[in-house]
Structure 1
Amino acid sequence: MRLEGTVLRGPELEPISGRVVVEDGEITSVEEVETDSTDIVLPAFVNAHTHLGDSIAKEAGEGLSLDDLVAPPDGLKHRLLRAASTDEKVGAMARSLRMMETGGTAACLEFREGGVDGVDVIRQALTDRDIEAVVLGRETESAMEVSDGFGASGARDAEFGSLRNATEKAGKLFGIHAGERDSLDINAALDLDPDFLVHMVHPESLHLERVEDSEIPIVVCPRSNLVTGVGVPPIRELVERTTVALGTDNVMLNSPSMFREMEFASKLADVPATEVLKMATVNGAEIAGLDYGVVEAGRPAKLLVLDGESDNLTGVQDVVRAVVRRAGMADIKDVYL
C-alpha cells in the first residue's frame, strides 16, 4: 500500500510532500517525493486518558460538583455503573470505542472502574474492534494483576503505596489523578513516583519544579476540567517541563474526540500546533508504552488520512495548524489501524 500527499513525518511531525509505503501492517519507508495528492497523512491518535464506563450516562449530572459526579465510591458515575447490567456497559463502551476508531484513534489509556469485573467488561467491549486499549484496573490489586496496570483515583482518596509497589513489581503502568480539585494531593502523588499523572490543573511552583526534576509525564484533559468547573491546566508551563499528552476523560462529560480536544487545547494554551499534535499522538503513545504515534520506517502503520480538498481543509496555509485547530471527523478519508 502507498499513501501520498503531505506527510507529517517523524517524531517532530515535519510536513513533507511524500509517500508512505506500508507492507504487512508496517511502515517500510517514508519517501520525500513530489506528488499531486492533496491528502494529509499523519499518525493515528492515542487518547491518553479515558473513562469509557461513563458511556452509559452521557450528559448526566448537569450542575453537580466534581465530587458528586465522579468521586468514588458513591459519585453519580459510580452509582450508575453499579445499576447498569453487564450487557448495557459492554454495549455502551463498544459504541464509544467504535466512535474513536472512526475518528482516527489507534489506542486509548483507560482507567477502568469495577475491579476485576470492570476489566472483563472492557475486554468484552473490545471484541472485534481494531482500536487497542491499555487498561489500568482500579480499586483492587487483583484488577491490576489482570490488566495492564493500576489507575489510582488520587492520593486524597486512599493510601496507594502498597499498590504502587505491587504494580512496579509486576512491571506494569501506574497512573494517578493529581491536582484536579486543588494542589493539596500533588506532593503525595509525586511521592509515589508514578509513571504518569493525570490533570495537574493546580500545580504550584514547587510542584512544577518536582515534575521537571522527576520528568514524570502528565496527561491533561482541559475540556473535562472546564466542564467540571475546576479550572484548566497550565499547559504551556507543563509542556516546558515534561512530556504532556492529551486525554478526553469521562465520556459522561465529553465525546472521546481527539479532534475536539486538540482544538480546545490549542486555542486555550500558548503552545505551537505541532506540540499539541504531539500531545495527541507520539506523547500519548510513549506514556502508554506503545510503538505508535510516528510516521517513520519500522513503525506499525497506525495512520490517519485527511482529505485536503474537503470544504473545511481546502486552501489551508499551515497543514499542522489546520489538523489541530480545524480538522474533524468529516475530513477523514481513511483510517488504518
Structure 2
Amino acid sequence: MELSGTILAGPEYEPVEGRVVVKDGEITAIEEAETASSAIICPAFVNAHTHIGDSIAKEAGRGLSLDELVAPPDGLKHRLLAEASREELAEAMRRSLEYMIAGGTGAFIEFREGGVAGVEALSAAVETLDIDPIVMGRDEIDVLDVADGYGASGARDGEFSAERTAARAQNKLFGIHAGERDPYDINSALDLDPDFLVHMVYAERLHLERIEDSEIPVVVCPRSNLVTDVGVPPVAELVERTTVGLGTDNVMLNSPSMFREMEFVSKLCDVSAPEVLRMATAAGAEIAGLNYGVIEPGRDARLQVLDGDSDNLCGARDPVRAVVRRAGVDDVTNVILG
C-alpha cells in the first residue's frame, strides 16, 4: 500500500511531500516525491484518557458539581451505570467508539468502571471494531486478571497500594487521577510511583519537580476540566518536564474528539502545534506501550488521511497547525489501522 500527499513525518511532524509505503501493517519507507495529491497524512490519534461507559448519559447532570457528577460511588454517572443493562452499556460504548474511529483515533486508554463485568462489557463493544483498547479496570483488584492495568479514581478516594503492587507484579499499567479538584492528593498519588497521572490541574512547583525527577508521564484533559469548573492544567509547564498525553475524559461531558481537544489546547495554552500533535499521538502511544504515533519506518501503520482540499482546510499554509487548530472529523477521508 502507498499513500500519497503531504506527510507529517517523523517525531517533529515535518511536512514532507511524497509517499508512505506500508507492507504487512508496518511503515517501510517514506519517499519524498512530487505528488498531485492534496491529502494530509497524519498518525492516528491515541486518546490517552476516556470514560467510554458515560456514553449512556451524554449531557446529563446540568448544574451539578464535579463530585455530584462523577465521584464514586454515588455520583450521577455511577448511578446511571449501575442502572444500565450490559447490552445498553455495550451498545452506547460501541457508538462512541465508531465516532472515535471515524475521527482518526486508533487507540484509547480507558478507565473502565464496574470491575470485571465492566471490562467484559467494553470487550463486547469493541469486538468487531478496528481500534486498540488499553483497558484500565477499576473497583476490584481481581480486574487485573482481565484488564491491561488498573485505573485508580484518586488517592483521596482510597488507599491503592495493594492495587499498585498487584499491577506491578503482573507487569501491567497503573494510572491514577490526581490534582483534579485541589493539590492535596498529588503527593499521595506520586508516592505510589504510578505509570502515569491524569489531570494535574493543581500541580504546584514541588509536584512538577517530583514529576520531572521521576519521569512520570501525565495525561491532561483540559476541556473536561473547564466544563467541571476546576480550572485548566499547567500544560506548558508539564510539557517542559515530562511526557504529556491528551485525553477527552468523560463522554458524559465532552465528545471524544481529539480534534476538538487539540484545538482547545493549542488556542488556550502556550504550546506549539507540533507539540500538541505529539500529545495526541506519540505521547499517548508511549504511555500505552504502542509502536505508533510517529510516521517513520518500523512503526505500525496506524494512520489517518485528511482532505487538504476540503472547504475547511483548503488554503492552509501550515499543515500541522491546520490539523491541530482547524481540522475536524469531517475532514478525515480514510483511517488505516493496520
**TM, length-normalised to structure 1:** 0.99
For structure 1, the residue ranges without an aligned partner over 5 or more in a row are none
Secondary structure in 2 aligned to 1:261?
A: helix
Q: Is 1:57–2:57 an aligned residue pair?
A: yes
- Please list the CA deviations of residues 9-47 of structure 1 after superposition, one character each: whole Å capped at 9, or x if unmatched: 112211111210112221111112222211100100000
Report the equivalent of 2:102.
102
Ranges of 4+ aligned residues in structure 1 off by more than 4 Å: none
Q: Is 1:302–2:302 an aligned residue pair?
A: yes
Secondary structure in 1 aligned to 2:253?
A: coil
Report the equivalent of 2:334.
334
Secondary structure in 1 aligned to 2:286?
A: helix
Report the equivalent of 2:41.
41
Report the equivalent of 2:227.
227
Report the equivalent of 1:241.
241
Structure 1: which amino acid aligns with 2:152? A
Question: Cα offset for 1:105?
Answer: 0.2
Report % sequence identity. 69
Report the equivalent of 2:164.
164
Q: Is 1:29–2:29 an aligned residue pair?
A: yes
Secondary structure in 2 aligned to 1:29?
A: strand
- Please list the CA deviations of residues 164-191 of structure 1 after superposition, one character each: whole Å capped at 9, or x if unmatched: 0110010000000000000000000000
Secondary structure in 1 aligned to 2:121?
A: helix
Report the equivalent of 1:9.
9
Report the equivalent of 1:288.
288
The 2-side partners of 1:112 and 1:329 are apart by: 25
Structure 2: which amino acid aligns with 1:112? R
- Please list the CA deviations of residues 100-131 of structure 1 after superposition, one character each: whole Å capped at 9, or x if unmatched: 11111000000000001001000000111001
Secondary structure in 2 aligned to 1:219?
A: strand
Report the equivalent of 1:93.
93
Question: Cα offset for 1:314?
Answer: 0.6
The 1-side partners of 2:206 and 2:153 are apart by: 22
The 1-side partners of 2:172 and 2:198 are apart by: 17
Secondary structure in 2 aligned to 1:156?
A: helix
Question: Cα offset for 1:146?
Answer: 1.1
Structure 2: which amino acid aligns with 1:317? R
Q: Is 1:139–2:139 an aligned residue pair?
A: yes
Secondary structure in 1 aligned to 2:252?
A: coil
The 1-side partners of 2:298 and 2:66 are apart by: 43
The 1-side partners of 2:304 and 2:95 are apart by: 20
- Please list the CA deviations of residues 76-102 of structure 1 after superposition, one character each: whole Å capped at 9, or x if unmatched: 000000001111000000001111111
Question: Cα offset for 1:216?
Answer: 0.4
The 2-side partners of 1:305 and 1:223 are apart by: 25
For structure 2, the residue ranges without an aligned partner over 5 or more in a row are none
> RMSD of the alignment, in Å?
0.7
The 2-side partners of 1:65 and 1:214 are apart by: 33
- Please list the CA deviations of residues 180-234 of structure 1 after superposition, one character each: whole Å capped at 9, or x if unmatched: 0000000000000000000000011110111111110000000000000100101
The 2-side partners of 1:212 and 1:22 are apart by: 37
The 1-side partners of 2:207 and 2:108 are apart by: 27
Secondary structure in 2 aligned to 1:134?
A: strand
Matches within 5 A, 1:143-158: 143-158=143-158
Matches within 5 A, 1:183-202: 183-202=183-202
The 1-side partners of 2:63 and 2:265 are apart by: 23
Structure 1: which amino acid aligns with 2:24? D
Structure 2: which amino acid aligns with 1:242? T
Secondary structure in 2 aligned to 1:240?
A: helix
- Please list the CA deviations of residues 110-164 of structure 1 after superposition, one character each: whole Å capped at 9, or x if unmatched: 0000001001000000111001100010011111221000000000000001110
Q: Is 1:120–2:137 an aligned residue pair?
A: no
**TM, length-normalised to structure 2:** 0.99
The 1-side partners of 2:14 and 2:194 are apart by: 31
Structure 2: which amino acid aligns with 1:155? A
Structure 1: which amino acid aligns with 2:91? G
Matches within 5 A, 1:250-329: 250-329=250-329
Question: Cα offset for 1:59?
Answer: 0.1
Secondary structure in 1 aligned to 2:69?
A: helix
The 2-side partners of 1:167 and 1:25 are apart by: 30
The 1-side partners of 2:116 and 2:333 are apart by: 38
